């Protein structure tokens, strides 16, 4: 038994082993093939939903499993070891936006959509306001009992398949960050157009697209929370999601380390396995140090969250460090494979491509470092 097994409960180990088997035996081989076309393996998505993986941390009151943060992170790591794009489809933002900002009716509505296998988006990013979320330009103007939305979003995960979108728009241009409001926008709403899926570098089976709003009329009852509080809600949602994003990055890093260790045992140079050479063995040791450290950092933040302690600084550190580790470890895995690592026939180049986005989405790592450095001087 590893030290990880010894500190997990029997239930956590059982759930982890179930997701690990599913991820390694079914998700990994299928998604590796389907990423060439970018098609979604719907049969596997349905199976994951039948396992309840799409509503792990949704409260039981709304049909979910009400899972704690730590166990959720453990399972997110395992599914990302299989395929990070698949994990983003099944274990995306899901219920978090309405849990933080929604009223009872909205929570019941979105909870029912997710229970029935539906998907949600988190439509914040725009072409001119990626990391600077407060600079969004999409407008929402009150018109009687409705709001009318105009503008565009870009790089929105799951936009082509989502049943309902959480959209952030400016209701008071003079108030800047305090003038942003969040809305629920159902798919098929007149005036809403979803762009073609982007041709991405990594996580290719997870669809990402632009969204366009042309006089999209939304009832005021679909506004999430208070008018002008959208930016505050967005930051709370991201703060809540970043540790699980870190867990996903750890999953990619662990997968790359496992592949590199296996290859180093098999590949021989000058009559010896390359693991016997310090140039390789020390690289692997450093990769192990980084993966274990990132995992413990992520688990620590999740355990604090389970105690009701939400720390924006630690959340940023968890996401930033884990994603940097994923990029470093996957790059080193490619190096250990040598020329084979550069070929798509071998698995590590895909892991390197998948890892990159973790340094970018949910706030670039440069933005995370701004958050962390500001905390030092408060």
- Dist. CA 289–CA 161, nearest whole Å: 39
Contact 146/210 with Cβ under 8 angstroms?
no
How far the first Cα of the chain sits from its last, in Å, is: 44
Q: Which tokens in the block code for residue 325?
A: 């580790």
Strand partners, 167: 123, 183
Strand partners, 37: none
Contacts of 106 by beta carbon, 8 Å cutoff, 6+ apart = 98, 184, 222, 224
Residue 90's Cα: distance from chain center in Å? 10
Question: 35, 99, 126, 362: which one is catalytic?
Answer: 362
Enumerate long-range contacts of 337-340, CB under 8 Å, 24 or more apart: 337/259, 337/260, 337/263, 340/263
- Dist. CA 43–CA 33, nearest whole Å: 14
Does residue 35 carry a catalytic annotation?
no
Q: Which active-site residues does the annotation give?
A: 362
């Amino acid at each position: 038994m590893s030290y990880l097994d010894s500190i997990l409960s029997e239930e956590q180990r059982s759930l982890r082993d179930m997701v690990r088997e599913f991820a390694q035996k079914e998700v990994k081989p299928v998604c590796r093939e389907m990423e060439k076309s970018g098609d979604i393996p719907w049969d596997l998505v349905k199976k994951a939903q039948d396992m309840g993986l799409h509503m792990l941390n949704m409260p039981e009151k709304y049909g979910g499993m009400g899972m704690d943060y730590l166990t959720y992170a453990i399972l997110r790591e395992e599914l990302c070891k299989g395929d990070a794009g698949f994990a983003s489809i099944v274990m995306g933002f899901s219920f978090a936006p309405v849990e933080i900002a929604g009223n009872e009716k909205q929570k019941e509505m979105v909870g029912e959509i997710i229970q029935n296998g539906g998907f949600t988006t988190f439509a914040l990013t725009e072409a001119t306001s990626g990391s600077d979320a407060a600079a969004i330009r999409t407008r929402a103007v009150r018109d009687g009992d409705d709001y009318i939305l105009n503008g565009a979003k870009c790089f929105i995960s799951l936009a082509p398949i989502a049943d309902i979108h959480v959209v952030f728009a400016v209701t008071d241009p003079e108030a800047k960050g305090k003038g942003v409001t969040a809305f629920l926008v159902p798919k098929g709403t007149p005036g809403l157009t979803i762009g073609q899926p982007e041709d991405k570098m990594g996580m290719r089976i997870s669809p990402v697209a632009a969204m366009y709003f042309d006089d999209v009329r939304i009832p005021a009852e679909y506004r999430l929370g208070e008018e002008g509080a959208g930016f505050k809600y967005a930051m709370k949602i991201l703060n809540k999601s970043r540790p699980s994003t870190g867990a996903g990055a750890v999953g990619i890093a662990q997968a790359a380390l496992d592949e590199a260790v296996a290859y180093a045992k098999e590949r021989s140079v000058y009559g010896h396995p390359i693991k016997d050479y310090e140039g390789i063995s020390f690289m692997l040791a450093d990769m192990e140090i980084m993966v274990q450290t990132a995992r413990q950092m992520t688990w620590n933040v999740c355990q604090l969250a389970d105690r009701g302690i939400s720390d924006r600084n630690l959340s940023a550190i968890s996401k930033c460090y884990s994603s940097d580790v994923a990029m470093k470890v996957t790059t080193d895995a490619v190096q250990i494979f040598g020329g084979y690592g550069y070929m798509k026939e071998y698995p590590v180049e895909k892991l390197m491509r998948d890892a990159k986005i973790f340094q970018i989405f949910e706030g670039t790592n440069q933005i995370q470092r701004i958050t962390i450095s500001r905390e030092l001087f408060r």
